[in-house]
Amino acid sequence: MRKSTNSSKTKRDGESRRRRVLYWCLQVFGWTAYFGYLSIFVALYAHNNRLLALEPVIALLHLFASHGLRALIRARGWLQLSAGKLAARLCLASCVFAVLIQVVVTPLAVAIGAVTLSEQRANWWVYAAASTVLFCAWSFFYIAFQWLFRYRDSEMQRLELEAGLREAELRALKAQINPHFLFNCLNNVRSLIAEDSERAREMLLRLSGLLRYALESGNRERVPLSQELDIVRSFLELEKLQFEERLAWRFEIAPHTLEVMVPPMMIQQLVENAIKHGIEKQPAGGEIVITAQNDSGRLRISVENSGTLEAVAKPGFGLANARERLRLLCGPNAALSLQNTEDRRVAAVAEIPLQPTCEPY
């Protein structure tokens, strides 16, 4: 996962550099081409050739002014505005930059004798209007490019998230049922057949339901919490065949949370992690407490087990995979953490924003 993150950051940095190079290439080429055309027009039809000396200065002023307009757009966050508000601000900013350019050009043009002061005053509004139109046109192309880049970035992000989700689901499917759990469960059921055939049949039904749920979960992004809890109960009943009196559990579920959609097998993975790193390492065993409640507009699911976090080994693949799938399916506001509680227990806490559906963001 870290390699994937570093790779994505490198790609973003490379794309950012390419866009900066493209921006300056278009800036230099565009303004140079435009004022090159004006210089040819002046050379052919103007009566005062001193205007030619002024054209490169005007070109540079427009280049740096448009770059300043770009900085203003980015600093003020205008790209986040509605089309109407954005157009109004761009028109006003274009007028301001056009006037500033004329304030600089007027004394310079008069100083080199390109025009007289009276001629400059008479045509001042024409020059300002022309510059305003130029900046409005420049703004249109700049905003169009930015929207195009944003659309492309959003599509790339969507594709990356979908690819990451599919990869996470594939890894989750491979890790849904621990082979050791399956082998132990089958051996325990076989031993139970001679002692209590009725309970052995019940355990086989629970095992088949668990396997069917695990296989079908690869085709579903979310299931009701009530359905997930039924599978967790089956999983705990099957684990109790091995741990017997060393394993106890209880559920504290708020009724209004039962229909909330959650990633399939998420709680099962947290319970399996609690047994492996907590209950199994305690000579006397321990208790698992599963709670679910609405906490300020978020579904808060907690899986607690006896023990302390210091004594627990480094969280394995199950917890990391559950955290990644939760982020991919429910967005960046979802979280999964492992922490000590005040009563010397370890809690894996998942927080999911409560909304109609839990879709990939």
Q: Could you tell me the residue ranges of all domains in the chain?
A: 2-162, 176-353
Q: Is the pLDDT of residue 192 over 90?
A: no
Q: How far is CA 240 from CA 222, 306, 307, in A?
A: 27, 16, 19
Please say whether the beta carbons of 73 and 30 come within 8 A: no
Maximum mean pLDDT: which of 114-123, 164-173, 230-239: 230-239
* Model confidence band, residue 266 (pLDDT cutoffs 50, 70, 90): confident
This prediction has a pTM of 0.52
- C-alpha to C-alpha distance for 216 and 223, rounded to whole angstroms: 11
Mean pLDDT of 249-276: 90
Place of tokens 């959650």: 262
Mean pLDDT of 147-176: 70
Higher pLDDT, 337 or 115: 337
pLDDT of residue 45: 64
pLDDT of residue 153: 79
pLDDT digits (tens, 9 = 90+) for 201-243: 898 899 898 888 887 776 777 889 999 999 999 999 999 988 8
**Four-way CATH pick for 176-353: 3.30.565.10, 3.40.50.620, 3.40.640.10, 2.60.120.260:** 3.30.565.10
Q: Is the pLDDT of residue 315 over 60?
A: no
- Percent of the chain scoring above 90 in pLDDT: 19
pLDDT digits (tens, 9 = 90+) for 33-47: 888 877 787 777 666
Cα distance from N-terminal residue to C-terminal residue, the chain: 19
- Percent of the chain scoring above 70 in pLDDT: 84
Q: Is the pLDDT of residue 349 over 90?
A: yes
pLDDT of residue 168: 64
Q: Is the pLDDT of residue 7 over 60?
A: no
Please say whether the beta carbons of 195 and 188 come within 8 A: no
Angle ∠(257,259,262) on CA atoms, nearest 5 = 85
* Model confidence band, residue 6 (pLDDT cutoffs 50, 70, 90): low
Task: Give the lowest-confidence range in 125-139, 197-211, 232-246, 313-327.
Answer: 313-327
Place of tokens 């019940």: 202
β-partners of residue 261 are: 224
pLDDT of residue 119: 72
Higher pLDDT, 156 or 301: 301
Please say whether the beta carbons of 136 and 94 come within 8 A: yes
β-partners of residue 346 are: 305, 340
Q: Is the pLDDT of residue 251 over 90?
A: yes
Task: Give the lowest-confidence range in 98-102, 192-196, 317-321.
Answer: 317-321
